Amino acid sequence: METLQNILTHAHSGLRYLLLILLLVSIYTSLTKRSSDNFSSSDLKTYMFTMSFTHLQFLIGMALFFITGRYKISGEVMKDSIARFYAVEHTTLMILAVILITVGYSRCKKAQTVSAKHKAISIFFGIALVLILAGIPWPFRGLGAEWF
Ligand code: HEM
Please report, for the chain, the start and end positions of each structural domain, with discontinuous segments joined by +: 2-141
Q: Provide mean pLDDT across the span 112-141.
A: 97
With cut-offs at 50, 70 and 90, classify the pLDDT of residue 69.
confident
Res 37 pLDDT > 90: no
Q: Provide mean pLDDT across the span 97-110.
A: 98
With cut-offs at 50, 70 and 90, classify the pLDDT of residue 36.
confident
Residue 107 CB partners (closer than 8 Å, separation 6+):
120, 124
3-state secondary structure of 37: coil
Q: Whose CA is nearest to atom 22 of ligand 1?
A: 61
Please give the model's pTM, rounded to 2 decimal places.
Answer: 0.94
8 A C-beta contact, residue 22 and residue 46: yes
Q: How far is the CA of 12 from the centre of ligand 1 (A)?
A: 6
In a 13 Å sphere around the CA of 14, the CA atoms on its Cβ side amount to: 6
8 A C-beta contact, residue 13 and residue 148: yes
Question: What is the structure's pLDDT at 1?
Answer: 67
Counting Cβ atoms within 10 Å, is residue 90 exposed (0-12), middle (13-18) or buried (19+)?
buried
Count other Cβ atoms within 10 Å, centred on residue 69: 9
- For the Cβ of 128 lying below 6 angstroms from any atom of ligand 1, the answer is no
Closest atom of ligand 1 to CA, residue 97: 1
Q: How far is the CA of 118 from the centre of ligand 1 (A)?
A: 29
Q: Whose CA is nearest to atom 2 of ligand 1?
A: 94
